[in-house]
Amino acid sequence: MPLNLQKRSPGSTDKVKHLFLTAESGGSAAEYFPYFYVEAKIDFNDVRTGFRETISLNRALEIYSNNAELLWVSDMAWDVDPQKTRSSVPDAIRLAGLPDFVDANFISRMETQFIQYLLRSFITRIYRNAYLNIYSFSGESHAEFTSRCREMLDGQQRNELDLLHDVIDRRIEQLKEKYLDEESESGRLEQAKAESQDKDIFSHYSERIAELFLRTELVSNSCDIVTRPSHVVQELEERLLALESETKQAITKLTDAYVEKAGALDEYILHPNLKDIHFVRSCILWMPKRAA
């Protein structure tokens, strides 16, 4: 339940420091209310993951009651831009009362509760790639870390692709030696073999040629003899097509394997230890409720 604020001047609590949120220009005078405010740093230095990062926190909490041991939850605290705070009272604002129980002892107990809140609720997430055995940087998203892992794996993938390329080149050379280099007499021998192996085609064109001689006519528009690609060429083409398909499958498999390696990430959640938390300052921050 919101507390009833007593009219007490901020200057009457000399041991409690006060800050004020910069007033917005224009408009009517705003009423400012007191909040517990803390600036702290968390120095992560995780030995297992090697994660090292300093995180600055600037949080304000509404003063609900004189019970400083009230457990904090995340939606009770607000982020505050420290650049928008000042030590002097802004012009054209009205200050609500400061509760009588707000003193140095109250602030100290609130600091203790803030530490407990951080130990209990504050986390930072990082990712680990098991294949590379590396961890993400602070603030690095899942997609960014995956992309960085892909870049780190690019050299290994390129080496494997080069080895695969060498294997395919050797197999192509073997096909060339087997099908193209054995009989190279202007291609005529291979054409003759193709015609002799296909009796129907050979008989068809033999009869056409014999008929021309029997008629003793010159036929200028006679049909050209359609030659069929040799069986050797056909077989070579089939082998090359099969090798092309096999190569495509091998490249896809290799690429998919590296995509899987880059994307195989484990999530780690880090909590701060007591020794990681350091206070910069804590005080009463005055600001309008709409700002919070």
Residue 193: Cβ-neighbour burial (10 angstroms; 0-12, 13-18, 19+): middle
Query: Does position 14 have pLDDT exceeding 60, yes or no?
Result: no
Confidence of residue 274 (pLDDT cuts 50, 70, 90): very high
Residue-level pLDDT at 5:
42
Residue-level pLDDT at 212:
35
Confidence of residue 278 (pLDDT cuts 50, 70, 90): very high
Query: Does position 281 have pLDDT exceeding 50, yes or no?
Result: yes
Residue-level pLDDT at 1:
35
Higher-scoring residue by pLDDT: 123, 188: 123
Q: At what angle do helices 142-179 and 231-263 cross, to 10 degrees?
A: 160
Could you tell me whether strands 18-21 and 52-62 are parallel, antiparallel, or unpaired per DSSP bridges? unpaired
Query: Does position 216 have pLDDT exceeding 50, yes or no?
Result: no
Q: Report the chain's mean pLDDT, rounded to a whole number.
A: 76
**pLDDT, mean of residues 16-37:** 82
Confidence of residue 284 (pLDDT cuts 50, 70, 90): very high
Confidence of residue 258 (pLDDT cuts 50, 70, 90): very high
Q: At what angle do helices 231-263 and 188-197 cross, to 10 degrees?
A: 100
Query: Does position 252 have pLDDT exceeding 90, yes or no?
Result: no
Higher-scoring residue by pLDDT: 148, 171: 148
Query: Does position 116 have pLDDT exceeding 70, yes or no?
Result: yes
Bridge partners (DSSP) of residue 55 are: 42
**pLDDT, mean of residues 192-201:** 44
Among candidate residues 82, 1, 12, 83, the one with its CA nearest the CA of residue 282: 82
Q: At what angle do helices 199-215 and 188-197 cross, to 10 degrees?
A: 100
Higher-scoring residue by pLDDT: 172, 31: 31
- Cα separation, 111 vs 281, in Å, equals 10
Left if phi > 0, otherwise alpha if psi is -120 to 50, otherwise beta: which for 178? alpha
Query: Does position 100 have pLDDT exceeding 90, yes or no?
Result: no
Residue-level pLDDT at 198:
37
**pLDDT, mean of residues 248-261:** 89
